[in-house]
Amino acid sequence: MNMSAVFKPHETFRDDFSYRNSPHAIRRFPLPFPEDSYMYSVNIEPHLPGPPGSVVQFAFDVDEHYVAECRERAIVLAAEPLRYQALPHMLSSQWDCLELIMESLARDYPAHFSLSKQGNRWHWINRPLGIDQHFTFGDTTTLPREPLDYITRQAQGDFVVMDQREGDLWAEAGMVTTQADWSMDFDLGMTFKEWHGPVPLAHELQVFDRALKFLLNLRLGQPVRRLNWTMTIHPRLDTSPENYPKWGPDRAAVTAQNAGDLVHLRVELQGLWRLPRSNAIVFGIRCYLISLRELATVPKWARRVHRVLRDLHPALVDYKGLTRYRDAAVAWLAPFDDGAPTTAGTAPE
């Protein structure tokens, strides 16, 4: 098990924002900055098992926030059911995703999940959420919901499934409730480059041409991953365009005094898997949130994040929505940066 912490089922990502990271969760936080400055790169690497205890030890990381995140997803879906969508031709990829997630969780966290199979008759147990389900693999009528809907309600992070045809990838199914200001409802049916249209600079760097070419050749059994990041005010998972009026104004409340508690680094651990029956690709976007105050408990990280934010390219400041509060965050972090060099890599030291 990579959880020395127990689940914290009552923490919240809205209203009173009671979400916090334990010291253990802080130490394993996936800092996306291997250097003191940041620019885009095609930073894709094989999704191989990482060090014990790290967020990449297993295919899908289940951490202390698991139960609370699943409950947050249910709250979002109850209000806005269209956060989950799947076009009809994506059904085989839905079963592929269900298989991938169930097999991974049961293999990697046997104390929490178990899966037994007799032919197509499967039995799934999710102990943290109190679920015990018998069903027939491939028969949608034997599950309470569509397969992708069913299984991603029991997983942390968003999932987008991309069909591969015409030399492109089409986002045609997905569960998206913990997103950094984009919408499955808006992007459904888009091609890879359409979906990434708003990203500045990267098109000129041909990042998406190379990434698409790479992904079209993604192999079964050889998933890949990358980290991406932005910032969010409060530990709010659902920063969707649909709910912009609820979270957008928060950004005006940040000052150099309160930035340590309000401003959160938001890191996405993105994983990509080729799916076997459908030949589709599932794109997992797992969100990790950490306040600047929590981050600053690691001196190296405080120095590094201060420098990255201070020197960030203006186009990225705008695109990531940091314009209103970047200066306040930099000011809050400045006292932690004594100018000493940082060691290479992201380890906390």
Partner 1 sequence: MNDAQTIAVEVIGIEQVTPLIKHFKLAPIGGGTLPVFSGGSHIIVVMQGAARVHRNPYSLLGSPKELDTYEIGVRRMEESRGGSHFMHDTIEVGSRLEIAHPVNLFGLDKIARKHLLIAGGIGITPFLGQLEDLHGGGVPYELHYSVRSAEHAAFLERLRRREGERLHMYYDSEGLFIPFQTLLANQPLGTHVYVCGPAGMIQHVIDTAHACGWPDSHIHWEQFSAPPVGDAFEVFLARSKISVHVPPDRSLLESIEAAGVEVPYLCRGGVCGFCHTRVLELEGKLLHNDHFLSDADKAKAKSIMPCVSRAHCRRLVLDL
Nearest approach in angstroms of CB 331 to partner 1 is 46
Q: Which is nearer to partner 1, 44 or 331 (CB)?
A: 44
Q: Which of 20, 27, 71, 226 is catalytic?
A: 226
Stretch that binds partner 1, among 154-162, 180-188, 201-209, 218-226 (CB under 8 A): 218-226
Q: Which is nearer to partner 1, 158 or 163 (CB)?
A: 163
Give SS3 for 27: helix
Q: Give 149's contacts (C-beta < 8 A, 6+ positions apart).
A: 84, 86, 175
CA distances from 117 to 93, 107, 120, 207, 278 (A): 19, 13, 7, 42, 21
Binding test (CB under 8 A) with partner 1, winner from 16, 198, 204, 217: 217
Nearest approach in angstroms of CB 281 to partner 1 is 12
Q: How many residues bind partner 1 (CB under 8 A)?
A: 17
- Measured between its terminal Cα atoms, the distance across the chain in Å is 23
Based on the shown chain and the rule CB under 8 A, indicate whether residue 10 belongs to the binding site for partner 1. no
Q: Which is nearer to partner 1, 96 or 337 (CB)?
A: 96
Based on the shown chain and the rule CB under 8 A, indicate whether residue 163 belongs to the binding site for partner 1. yes
Pair 151, 102: CB distance under 8 Å = yes
Q: Does 145 participate in catalysis according to the annotation?
A: no
Binding test (CB under 8 A) with partner 1, winner from 94, 152, 177, 278: 278
Nearest approach in angstroms of CB 109 to partner 1 is 23
Based on the shown chain and the rule CB under 8 A, indicate whether residue 219 belongs to the binding site for partner 1. yes
Token duo for residue 114: 């178990």
Encoded one letter per residue, x for contact with partner 1 by CB under 8 A and - for no contact, window 176-215 reads -------------------------------------x--
Encoded one letter per residue, x for contact with partner 1 by CB under 8 A and - for no contact, window 83-102 reads ------xx-----x------
Based on the shown chain and the rule CB under 8 A, indicate whether residue 121 belongs to the binding site for partner 1. no
SS3 content of the chain, % helix, strand, coil (to 5): 35, 20, 45
Residue 175 phi/psi, 5-degree rounding, is -120, 110
Nearest approach in angstroms of CB 338 to partner 1 is 41
Nearest approach in angstroms of CB 88 to partner 1 is 9
Binding test (CB under 8 A) with partner 1, winner from 6, 74, 79, 220: 220
Spatial distance between the Cα atoms of 328 and 332, rounded to a whole number of angstroms: 6
Based on the shown chain and the rule CB under 8 A, indicate whether residue 107 belongs to the binding site for partner 1. no
Binding test (CB under 8 A) with partner 1, winner from 16, 166, 204, 338: 166
Range list of β-strands (E), the chain: 45-46, 84-86, 113-118, 121-126, 131-136, 158-165, 168-175, 224-233, 263-274, 281-291
Nearest approach in angstroms of CB 28 to partner 1 is 28
Q: Which of residues 238-277 bind partner 1 (CB under 8 A)?
A: 276-277
Q: How many CB atoms lie within 10 A of CB 341?
A: 8
Nearest approach in angstroms of CB 227 to partner 1 is 23
Neighbour-count burial for 89-118, b at 16+ CB within 10 Å, e otherwise: ebbebbbbbbbbbbebbbebbeebbbbeee
The DSSP annotation for 58-125 comes to: SSS---TTHHHHHHHHHHHHHH-GGGEEE-GGGHHHHHHHHHHHHHHHHHH-TTTEEEEEETTEEEEE
Spatial distance between the Cα atoms of 223 and 104, rounded to a whole number of angstroms: 13
Please identify every residue annotated as catalytic: 226
Which residues bind to partner 1, rule: CB under 8 A?
89-90, 96, 163-166, 213, 217, 219-222, 276-279
